[in-house]
Amino acid sequence: MKRRDHKERITVTVDPELVAAANEAVRAGRAESLSGWVNLALVERAAKERRFRALTEAVAAYEAEFGAIPPAEMAAQRRADEKAAIVVRGARRVLARRVSGRRGAA
């Protein structure tokens, strides 16, 4: 990884609404510059990818030792996670169940 005091100039194409959001962050003092805002986004994305790779490796190691995680166990864990989730914005989402024989019904 390169030293943090050395920067590399690049040219990228970015959606206009993202440029507007970055410029607004700079105007509001939430970012030092457009480059700084983009750099932070890349830092956060790289960290997210490292966490995802580590999780993937952990699941692979677990399954190599104990076998594949059964779908029923995965579903039970998903339900437990949804039940334990803390809603910080809006209402808790309730998953709609399809009525038998009716497509698109919510």
> 89 is in which domain, residue-wise?
1-106
- For the chain of 106 residues, list the mean pLDDT of each consecutive stretch of 10: 75 96 96 95 97 97 96 96 89 56 48
Neighbouring CB atoms inside 10 A of 99's CB total 9
Q: What is the pLDDT of residue 87?
A: 86
Total of domains in the chain: 1
Structure tokens at 90: 């809006």
d(CA 71, CA 18): 38
Distance of CA 37 to the CA centre of its chain: 18
Q: What is the pLDDT of residue 106?
A: 45
Q: What is the pLDDT of residue 83?
A: 94
Q: What is the pLDDT of residue 90?
A: 72
